[in-house]
Amino acid sequence: MNGLKTALLLGLLSGLLIVGGRLVAGENGMLIALFIAIGMNFFSYFFSDKIALASSGAVRVNETENPEVFWRLAKIVKPLCDRMGLPMPKLWVTPERAPNAFATGRNPAHASVAVTAGLLDLMEDREIEGVLAHELGHVKNRDILTSSIAATIASAITWAAQMAFFFGGRRDDDEGGNPIAALLMMLLAPIAAGLIQMAISRTREFSADAASAQYTGNPDELVSALRKLEAYSKRIPMDVSPSMSHMYIIQPLSGKSLASLFSTHPPTEERIARLLSLRRS
């Protein structure tokens, strides 16, 4: 169901690009915006993992460096990867005191999973397993590719609207257009694209939660972890760029009263309720 919802949202986003982009910038303007967005997101797709890890201050852990941390994580991650049919990802730890985690990498063969120092200090191993299974669910579902496609289309819509604004909304074809409709699309299309992109992100979070429940065999692990993550996110601030907040298992900026409509994450209470329903099914 989550996969179908993602496909429908991507289709809606594509439709908005075709209809809205043509209204605000004409066919050629829309194509120029699309190519610019593809170029930007192509770079992001291949290098976003390095950018994310560097900006978070993540440190690679392995058998020789930080061996204690490595083996604590590896004994959890390796069995999960075997069950999920995934290669072992690179493991990283960031210095943040707040518990949190994220996955990055353009495909399973180039995946990295990072946890905060706070997660290791404040979580039991069973809760860490629930969190890591969620992050590996993102890797298995290729959510980074999905989010890159959504970002490409949303960026193209925004570029098309900006081009129309700077060039006076002139169309490059001979068809008579409705200037009021073009003006409305110029103003509303980027907002609509952003909302759809965030809805896709929230859908992928539900899918990763379900993967955690499936491959750990116990949704209570992630339920317990989410309750702790929610509580600590309000008590311990994280120094995270808003552009990176969507990557984490829980919104690190949740203490800043963001409206749920504009959030990249579903409400934690709803995520927990869905996980509990899996336990009863």
* Residues with active-site annotation: 135
CA 249 to CA 37: how far, in whole Å? 26
Tokens of residue 39, six digits: 């170029």
- Distance of alpha carbon 99 from its chain centroid, rounded? 18
Q: CA 207 to CA 222: how far, in whole Å?
A: 13
Tell me which H or E stretch contains 72: helix 67-84
Identity of residue 116: T
CA–CA separation, 88 and 109 (whole Å): 8
CA distance 18 to 20: 6
Interhelix angle 143-166/2-55, rounded to 10 degrees, is 80
Beta bridge partners of 93: 59, 115
Phi (first) and psi of residue 204, to 5 degrees = -65, -30
List the beta strands (DSSP E) in the chain: 59-61, 90-94, 101-104, 112-116
Alpha-carbon distance of 272 to 280, in angstroms, equals 13
Residue 197 is which amino acid?
Q
User: Hey, is 110 helix, strand or coil?
Assistant: helix
Give the residues across from 104 on adjacent strands: 112
